[in-house]
Structure 1
Amino acid sequence: MEKHSGYVILFIMKHILFIVLISLLWGCSHRSAVDKHLNHSGKVMDVKGLVKEIVIDSPLIGGLSRPYVMDKYFILTDPQSEKNQVLIFDKENFSYITGMGISGEGPNEITSLGELILDEKQRCLYVADYGKMQMSGYDLDSILLNPNCLPKYKFDLNKTTTPVMFSYVNDTLCYACCITAKPGEIFQEHLVTWNMQTGDMHPLISGHPDIERKRFHYAASIDNNLIAMSYDHHDLLATYDLQGNLKHYIYGPSWNDATSNAMIYYYGSIIICNNRIIVGYFGKRNPDVGEVHVTNLIVYDLDGNYIKTLKVGYNIVLFCYDSEYNRIIMALDDDIQFAYLKLDGLLE
Structure 2
Amino acid sequence: MNKLLYFLIVIISWSCTQNSPTEKFQHKRNNIMNIHDKIEEIQMEDILISNISRIHLIKDYLVIGDYKAPDKLINIFDKKTFKYITSSTYQGLGPGEIANMGYIGVDEDKNKLFVSDHGKQKIFYYDLDSILKNPDYEPKEKINMNGSLFPDKYQYINDTLSISLIIEPTGSSGYNQSVAKWNMSTGEIIPMKYEHPNITQKRINIAANSEINNYVECYSFYDLMTICDLDGNLKFNIYGPNWKTEKSKKQYYGKVIYCKNNILALYSGENNFVVTKDKGIKSNHPTQIIIFDKNGDYIQTLETGYQIIDFCYDKDNNRIIMVFNDNIQFGYLDLNGII
* Superimposed CA distance per residue, residues 45-99 of structure 1 (whole angstroms, 9 cap, x where no aligned partner): 1111111111113210001100111111011000111321010001111111111
3-state SS in 2 of match to 1:49: helix
8 Å contact from structure 2 (residues 205, 219) kept in 1? yes
2:130 to 117, 135, 142: 142
CA distance in 2: counterparts of 1:185 and 1:33, whole angstroms: 39
3-state SS in 2 of match to 1:158: coil
CA distance in 1: counterparts of 2:192 and 2:43, whole angstroms: 40
8 Å contact from structure 2 (residues 254, 265) kept in 1? yes
3-state SS in 1 of match to 2:21: helix
1:278 to 255, 261, 264: 264
Does residue 249 (structure 1) correspond to residue 237 (structure 2)? The answer is yes
Paired amino acid for 2:223? D
**Residue in structure 1 matched with residue 157 of structure 2 by the alignment:** 169
**Residue in structure 2 matched with residue 290 of structure 1 by the alignment:** 282
* Aligned-pair Cα RMSD in Å: 1.9
1:265 to 248, 251, 262: 251
Deviation of 1:324 after TM superposition, in Å, equals 0.3
* Superimposed CA distance per residue, residues 207-237 of structure 1 (whole angstroms, 9 cap, x where no aligned partner): 3221111000111001111111111111111
The 1:31–1:209 alpha-carbon spacing in structure 2 relative to 1, beyond 3 Å, is: farther
Paired amino acid for 2:208? A
3-state SS in 2 of match to 1:168: strand
8 Å contact from structure 1 (residues 191, 206) kept in 2? no
Paired amino acid for 1:244? G
8 Å contact from structure 1 (residues 213, 260) kept in 2? no
**Residue in structure 1 matched with residue 307 of structure 2 by the alignment:** 315
**Residue in structure 2 matched with residue 28 of structure 1 by the alignment:** 16
Paired amino acid for 1:300? F
8 Å contact from structure 1 (residues 328, 342) kept in 2? yes
TM (norm. structure 2) is: 0.90
The 1:236–1:202 alpha-carbon spacing in structure 2 relative to 1, beyond 3 Å, is: same
Q: Show the 5 A alignment for 1:96-111.
A: 96-111=84-99
8 Å contact from structure 1 (residues 112, 131) kept in 2? yes
Gaps of 5+ in 2: 1-8, 276-280
Deviation of 1:137 after TM superposition, in Å, equals 0.7
**Residue in structure 1 matched with residue 322 of structure 2 by the alignment:** 330
Does residue 200 (structure 1) correspond to residue 188 (structure 2)? The answer is yes
Moved more, 250-259 or 34-43: 34-43
CA distance in 2: counterparts of 1:302 and 1:193, whole angstroms: 20
Percent identity over paired residues = 38
Deviation of 1:152 after TM superposition, in Å, equals 3.6
The 1:249–1:133 alpha-carbon spacing in structure 2 relative to 1, beyond 3 Å, is: same
8 Å contact from structure 2 (residues 203, 219) kept in 1? yes
Deviation of 1:185 after TM superposition, in Å, equals 8.3
Q: Show the 5 A alignment for 1:117-132.
A: 117-132=105-120
3-state SS in 2 of match to 1:181: strand
8 Å contact from structure 2 (residues 227, 237) kept in 1? yes
8 Å contact from structure 1 (residues 319, 329) kept in 2? yes
* Superimposed CA distance per residue, residues 96-143 of structure 1 (whole angstroms, 9 cap, x where no aligned partner): 111111111112211111111111101111111111111111111001
Paired amino acid for 2:170? K
8 Å contact from structure 2 (residues 215, 228) kept in 1? yes
Deviation of 1:40 after TM superposition, in Å, equals 4.2
Larger radius of gyration between Structure 1 and Structure 2:
1
Does residue 84 (structure 1) correspond to residue 76 (structure 2)? The answer is no
**Residue in structure 2 matched with residue 306 of structure 1 by the alignment:** 298
CA distance in 1: counterparts of 2:146 and 2:330, whole angstroms: 33
**Residue in structure 1 matched with residue 170 of structure 2 by the alignment:** 182
- How many residue pairs match? The answer is 322
